[in-house]
Structure formats: structure tokens, C-alpha cells
Structure 1
Amino acid sequence: MRIVGKRFFLLLVVSILSVNLIFCSKKEEKTVKKDVVQKVKEKKQEKNTSAKSEEEKPSEEEMTYGIGINKKFTTDGKLHEEKLLNKNFGYPDTADSFKIEKDSEGYFITEYIDESPILGEDVPVKEKKSRLKLENNVYLIDDSGLAYAYDTNLKKVVLLNKENNFRIIFIINE
């Protein structure tokens, strides 16, 4: 009987150890699965973040002129010459300004460029004239694709990004 009791005891100990090993390995599998799921989630988030950053990359126009407020432009389908023509407007964040005029050939812009802050000395203000193209009877577009128009909602002259569906870059104050 003693041999049978020892064998039984030994069998019981081996069984308990086996059950513990199986239980621990299942617990470890769950932990491994959780880690894998977490890593997959992190990869998806990284992929989504990189996709968003690709979408948010600025167009060439935005890099040239700044992203600005990026609001939707509102129009009634008219140019509103009385709001645009023969007035001096200042470009935002610079000492430069512009004036839009009309002659027998169409619309043109005179830009007054002050290079004094850049050069660190007083220099005369440069005048640069260029033609504007009227598009859709609403937008006056220069050679670089920058559009000038009157926003009927804001009741202000605005600079628009033609490359970004005419979204507002800057609101111009007189």
C-alpha cells in the first residue's frame, strides 16, 4: 500500500504541476495576444496619422502665400468692382501693399514692395505692375494663381488660393 500511496501522491503532484503549466501557458498566450492586438492598433494609428499628414500637406500656393484662415469663400457671383478698384490695400504681415485698377485692356494690379526691412536700410518702394485675369466674373487672378475677390459674407476683400478650390488665404483690411 505504501508504494501505491507514494505513486498516487507522485501522480497527484505531477497532475497539479501539469495543470499549473497548462494554466500558465494559456495565461501567457492571452498576454501575447493582447500585446499583438495592441501593436496592431498602434500600427493602424500610425498609418492613419501618416495618411492625415499626407492629406494636410500644403499645396504649392499655400507654401508660397501661407495657409491663412482656410475658410470657404462666399460670393453672389459678381466681381464687386466698387470694393476692389482704385483702393490701396495692405498685404498681411508685411509693409507691402497693392492697388487694383482697370484700363482699356482689362484689370491690372500695382504692387508696392518695401524691401527696407529685408535689406536693413532705407530703399525706395518698388512698384510692380502685372495683368489680372477675370475668371467666372468673380475672381481676379494674377500670374502666380493668387486670386483677389470680394467675400459677400465677410464684406471684405480677400486673397484666395485657386489651387485649394478658392479657399480664403487672407482677409484684407483697407
Structure 2
Amino acid sequence: MNIQNELLSIIQDVPNFPKEGVIFKDINPLLRDPVAMKKVIAEMVGFARELQVQNIVGIESRGFFFGLPLALQMNLPFIAARKKGKLPGIVVNESYNLEYGSDSIEIQKSALNIGERYLIVDDVIATGGTAKACSNIIEKSGAQVVGFSFLIELAFLRGRDLLQNSAYKFPIQSLINIT
């Protein structure tokens, strides 16, 4: 069984959550399966090594589930990209649109180093707004985004297109592609 089919057999669909018309991908069964989680992290490690990343950025909150183990496995710094008002100190902020609303995201300025290479990790790419906002923060700081790694890509929402509309065509990994 390939990794996508294996993961799809574990992750559950929850219709009409968090609102009517949205099919939520419940990854909690995956988080309870250490064997499958190790496979996910191994796939992400392979991708990150190819890109020679120096920092892993996890997007709040489910991106933390994958970003932190990835960073630990690679012995790299982990940076939390959090919702507005959740981080102390000086932060860099960017607003973005979601599949079902809008929000803002922040990263501590002290976590962003000019010229260093950052991989952005999240559980799902839907419209791409959150990942793009995170990328904008990193690029504005003088650091370099070298790619994105997602557990699930909701391809029908065309988030990849938003990320690829920039001047640089970022490498994008998604372990599950939902068309």
C-alpha cells in the first residue's frame, strides 16, 4: 500500500465541520498511530534534506504536530507561526484568507535570520492563504523560503496555485492529494 492510501485509511472525514459545507480531515486517528506518524515524518525528512533547510516553521496549530518532530529528527530549530496575539515580544504579522474566513499569523522576529533557509510545514493546504502569509513574513525578514510540506492537499481549492504565483516556484510536498 502506498503512503497516500495508507494515510487515507487512517484519517477520517467529518462533514459540515467547522461549518456547513466543509469536509474536515480529522487527523487525530493518525496522531494516535505512532507507526504511521513515523512514516509521515520520514517522508517529510527526505523532502527537507533535499532542500537543505536550516529551519522548520510549523503553522498553528496542527502544523506543530508535524513540524516539531521533523525539526527534532533533523536537529534543526523549530519556529512556531501563531495566530495574532499568541506570541510575546516583537513579531512580524500578515493577514490571510481561509477556506472559511480570514485571520492573521505572526512569527517572532528573533526567529527569522537573514539568508537562512526555511521550510514551512502544515497539516493541510486548502486555499493556500495561511502558507502564503507565512511565506510573506519570512521573505520580508530577508530569510529564504525553500519549500512547503503538507500532510494533505485539497487540490480542488487550488492553494498550490497561490503559492506558485510568486516569482519563485517553491517545491511543494503533499503526502495526500484530494482532488
Identify, as 1 or 2, the structure richer in helix. 1
TM-score when normalising by structure 1? 0.22
Identify, as 1 or 2, the structure richer in strand. 2
Q: Which structure has the greater CA radius of gyration? A: 1
TM-score when normalising by structure 2? 0.22
